[in-house]
Amino acid sequence: MDTFRPRTRSTTDPRFAILHAGIVGLTLTTAVIHASLGGLLFTLNAIGYATFATGLLLPGRFTAWRWLMRLGLAGFTLATIAGWLLFGARFGLAYVDKGVEVVLLLALALDVGLEDGGPAGVIAHIRDTWQMARRYASRRPR
């Protein structure tokens, strides 16, 4: 049986640990801020951020999919910022939260660069995943 081998680099370097802790911390910070706003949309947004934070910490075989979590979290954060720019209220806590989200995006970009080797690495992840899915599909009994 083929094993999917992630391209993710070693995470034994303590600088990676600091970066990852920072990403999880920023993600939880914006989750708490959104939860404090009340209402269904903000609560769902907070749950989304908490889910990504959990996904980034999943151990074992799930670490192979951390690149996808980073990508998903970046997209989710961008969508949240865009939603605020289009429809959001302008007040102090909102500006603080957008600052947190911008720093989170920068940290994620740095992590993608270091862990995945940048956009080319992400494309390689996607290609690997696609090929793995095709292999899996071709083995299924018809």
Partner 1 sequence: MTRRDVSRATAIATILAIALVLGACSGGSSGSTAPAPSAPTGGAVVVAQDLKFDRQTIAVPANQAAPLLFENRDSAPHNVTVMAADGTKVFTGETFGGPGSRTYQLPSLTAGSYKFQCDVHPDMKGTLTAG
- Measured from the CB atom, the residue of 92 and 141 that comes closer to partner 1 is 92
Tell the smallest beta-carbon distance from residue 88 to partner 1 (Å): 8
Sign, Cα dihedral of 120, 122, 123, 124: positive
Judged by the rule CB under 8 A, the positions of this chain that interact with partner 1 are 24, 28, 31-32, 35-39, 42-43, 46-47, 50, 53-54, 57-60, 87, 89-93
| Closer of 26 and 31 to partner 1 (Cβ) | 31
* The residue to which tokens 């696609």 are assigned: 130
Output the six-digit token pair for 82: 């865009």
Our CB check for partner 1 shows the closer of 96 and 133 to be: 96
Instruction: Report the C-alpha gap between 141 and 122 in whole angstroms.
Output: 31
Distance of closest approach, residue 24 Cβ to partner 1, in angstroms:
8
Least Å distance, CB 45 to partner 1, is: 11
Residue 11: which of 52, 56, 50 has the closest Cα? 56
Return the amino acid letter for 136.
Y
